[in-house]
Amino acid sequence: MMSWFYNLNVLSALLLIFIICGTISMIGFFISQKYFLKETHLKTISLAQKTGLTFGTLFMAFWITINWQTLKELTLTTEQEAHAIYHLYSISKMIPETNEQTRVREAVLNYLDIIINKEYRSLEQGKLSIQGEESFNNLTWAVYSYPKMNDFRDQFTYSQLIAALTSVSDNRVKRLNFVHGELTGALLIFFITLIVIICFWNGFIRSEHSKLAFVVLLSQNLIILSSAWLVLEIDHPFQGYFKVDDSAFIHTHQQIIEDNLRSKNK
């Protein structure tokens, strides 16, 4: 889906889906009223409606369940990465050489700043951030260039820095793997086609009371299309109403600033 869709508010997104697919249902409704009112067509139409609704309901229920777990997993991964960044910054205080300590700490703060102000803006558009990758590479270089001396304290500090950086890297890779969602390519085409077919056959309602048939058609579409909206929304966890934002990194950044202020006031 295009990024602009996920930037719409809930009502606008629901209305857009309802208008598009509602139009398809109305096409089916007028076709059925004009060409398929005979009793001989009822069994075939009913079979098509039941097949579409059953398969569509199962697919959407399965996809909502899977993606809801994805949201929870991404939230946990984001929190773990933010915690690893804070841990890395805390370990940097053990570096005895002032210039080396300053270089690592500045790299950590710069990485956090890029994540908050640059990278998440790109993720909200469904894109990876070049600036975020460059900032992480700079952080990696700052840690790995720490001089590995023979002193036991230096060796211990270096090993702790590498362990913390590895944790940041692992969680970063997991976090960014969620950016494109799972409902893409052929699977997205299949999902859209399924919704179109369901809406089309929903329009084949036979009733002596056309107003009642119209109300039933609208209510059926509202249920199906609301579920379709939910599937699309939670499939891209960095976008839309249910997105996992950068609050964990903002909290970590604030915590580091507060720690620095407390250190200066001592």
Query: Using one digit for the tens of pLDDT, what is the confidence trace for 135-178?
Result: 999 999 988 886 666 677 777 888 888 999 999 999 999 999 98
In this prediction the pTM is 0.78
Distances (CA, A) of 84 to 39, 54, 69, 81, 239: 68, 45, 22, 5, 24
pLDDT band of residue 42 (cuts 50, 70, 90) is: low
Cα dihedral 124, 172, 101, 106 in deg (nearest 10) = -10
Position 264 pLDDT exceeds 60:
yes
Is residue 135 within 8 A of residue 116, CB to CB? The reply is no
Report domain extents, the chain: 9-33+44-265
Intra-chain end-to-end CA distance of the chain, in Å: 53
Q: How far apart are CA 45 and CA 151, in angstroms?
A: 81
pLDDT at res. 165:
92
Q: How far apart are CA 183 and CA 57, in angstroms?
A: 16
pLDDT at res. 37:
58
CB burial of 162-186 (b: ≥16 within 10 Å; e: otherwise) equals bebbebbeebbebbbebbebebeee
